Amino acid sequence: MTMTTQRHSDRPASSTTAFHDLTAMTRDEISCLFVRAEQDLEPFVEKARPIVDAVRNDGDAAVIRYAREFDGADLTKTGIVVSDREFADAFDAVDPAMIETLEFAADNIRRFHEAQRPGEMWMKEMSRGVFAGERWTPVDSAAVYVPRGKGSFPSVALMTAIPAVVAKVPQIVLLTPAGSDGKADAATLIAARIAGVELVCKAGGAVAVAAAAFGTASIPRCSRLEGPGSPWVLAAKRLLHGVLTSRVPAGPSDSIVLADETADPRTAALDLLIEAEHGPDSSAFLVTTCRRLAEEAMVEIDSLLGQMNATRAGFARAVLGGTRGGIVFAPSIEKAYGFVNDCAPEHLQILSDSPFDHLSEIRNASEILLGHHAPGSIANYVLGPNAVLPTAGSARNQSPLGVADFMKSASVGYLTERGYTSLAGHTRRFAQYEGFDAHANAVSSLRPAGASRDRL
């Protein structure tokens, strides 16, 4: 479906930022704004299939072959597993001030996720002698994925590894692509160590997903893999659904800045560009009911693009100039809320003097940042909550990555003889109605009475 982008007649003539006026758009045209790059994965699925098969059949040999093909890296020299020497070199290569920042961020992230960790076990007395509860234990093994295609992301290493460590997963491996020198990003290695992860292996994209699913001589087989990635990663996850669990669909970034008339245009422009610079497959909208703010923000965007490096500015222009980004003018605040909830963004910033007044109207967003002083970049790095978030509208039914994603729960029940007696009759009626004789017999007079002493 082709959408005609609506532009306000008074927008700056030199601006390349799209202006989407909801008052002049059909429902179908508005729906086109919600289409995300990763929603059409079929071309990637078909291309990822032979990669997955090769890793399953050839193991390390396939990892090495694809590292050379996709990353230009010769892992026969540097190895798939990051060595102690490479870790030591990383600490020598990174500025001590950056290491201090990684430690600062890790402390906030760790404290947030420790507060989030479910208790080991709880039980509730449902009635006299009848107890039911839940017990939480970590998964046996987990892989966390840190991409490298459009840059280096030690922040992702912290956000993915720390919840797994807090969950007390016995075996954790961090997977990340090698650079052309055959080495992992130095700051990512430091972040892994700060988080508490010892094993780091060099594998990227669909190769990494397949290696975690099947295991190789170097990379252990894992029951879960979490972390953001390209459509190649998402395609491989789809192919391996049922073999490898990965709960959070974390693809290219998408964001909304919701700004009312109290917002500053430059602040709105600054915050809009945060996610727009991730890549041309990202999505970023400024949603407002104030035409003055929209027009002034456009001028600010053009100015701020000139203060970015050419690559990131190019990404942002591509996003903001098309149907996956730009300014959205809503005729009422209710229409603005509707746009946000229909889009279900990964990141939502509410720029307002009274952001909590707007918060109650938001149902669908993975991350909500309130007020004029909470830019998304702070949340991406050091605030504490996890920045690996559901994308492509999956905030409607998914939550951010967290400790519980690296754990599993088991229901627990305990009955005394008195408790058993109070439930047996009701259970027998259910079983007889549904035609299960063994179920019914287990709670009938056939069961020996008083066989053992109750203990709790």
CA 42 to chain centroid, in Å, comes to 21
| Per-residue confidence (pLDDT) for residue 101, from 0 to 100 | 98
Percent of the chain past pLDDT 90, that is, above it, reads 87
Which one, of 292, 245, 247, 251, lies nearest residue 268 by Cα? 292
Instruction: Give the pLDDT band of residue 392 (cuts 50, 70, 90).
Output: confident
CA 204 to chain centroid, in Å, comes to 17
Average pLDDT, integer, range 376-402: 94
Residue 191 Ramachandran class (φ > 0 left, ψ -120 to 50 alpha, else beta): alpha
- Say if residue 261's pLDDT is above 80: yes
Neighbouring C-beta atoms of residue 360, cutoff 10 Å: 8
Kindly state the helix (H) or strand (E) to which residue 412 belongs, with its residue range.
strand 407-415
Neighbouring C-beta atoms of residue 91, cutoff 10 Å: 13
With 0-12 / 13-18 / 19 or more C-beta atoms within 10 angstroms meaning exposed / middle / buried, residue 50 is exposed
Which of 113, 278, 347, 358 is the catalytic position?
Answer: 347
pLDDT tens digit sequence for 212-260: 999 999 999 999 999 988 889 989 999 999 899 997 667 778 999 999 9
DSSP secondary structure letter of residue 80:
S
Hey, what are 201's tokens? 């292996």
Which of 86, 295, 346, 367 is the catalytic position?
Answer: 346
Instruction: Give the pLDDT band of residue 451 (cuts 50, 70, 90).
Output: low
CATH number of 19-32+252-399: 3.40.50.1980
Distance CA 111, CA 384 (A): 7
| Per-residue confidence (pLDDT) for residue 15, from 0 to 100 | 74
| Per-residue confidence (pLDDT) for residue 449, from 0 to 100 | 80
- 3-state DSSP call for residue 259? strand
Residues 6+ apart with CB under 8 A from 33: 3, 20, 285, 323, 324, 328, 343
Which one, of 215, 194, 350, lies nearest residue 287 by Cα? 350
Instruction: Give the pLDDT band of residue 149 (cuts 50, 70, 90).
Output: confident
Total H helices, total E strands in the chain: 18, 13
- Say if residue 262's pLDDT is above 90: yes
Task: Tell the residue number behind the tokens 């026969």, with chain if given.
Answer: 76
The pTM for the full model equals 0.90
| Per-residue confidence (pLDDT) for residue 10, from 0 to 100 | 45
Catalytic-residue membership of 372: no
| Per-residue confidence (pLDDT) for residue 454, from 0 to 100 | 56
Distance CA 107, CA 201 (A): 24
Distance CA 316, CA 273 (A): 7
Distance CA 45, CA 238 (A): 8
Task: Tell the residue number behind the tokens 């967290």, with chain if given.
Answer: 402
Average pLDDT, integer, range 50-73: 97
CATH number of 42-124+137-248: 3.40.50.1980
Residues, the chain, total? Answer: 456
Indicate the range of 1-10, 288-297, 409-418 predicted with least confidence. Answer: 1-10
Catalytic-residue membership of 346: yes
| Phi, psi for 261 (deg, rounded to 5) | -65, -15
Indicate the range of 35-49, 187-201, 248-262, 433-447 predicted with least confidence. Answer: 35-49
Contact (Cβ atoms closer than 8 angstroms) between residue 178 and residue 55: no
Q: In what order do the strands lie in the sheet with 224-226?
A: 199-202, 171-176, 141-145, 224-226
Instruction: Give the pLDDT band of residue 5 (cuts 50, 70, 90).
Output: very low
Which one, of 249, 199, 180, 196, lies nearest residue 82 by Cα? 199
Hey, what are 241's tokens? 């659904």
Where, residue-wise, is CATH 3.40.50.1980 in the chain?
A: 19-32+252-399, 42-124+137-248
Contact (Cβ atoms closer than 8 angstroms) between residue 206 and residue 235: yes
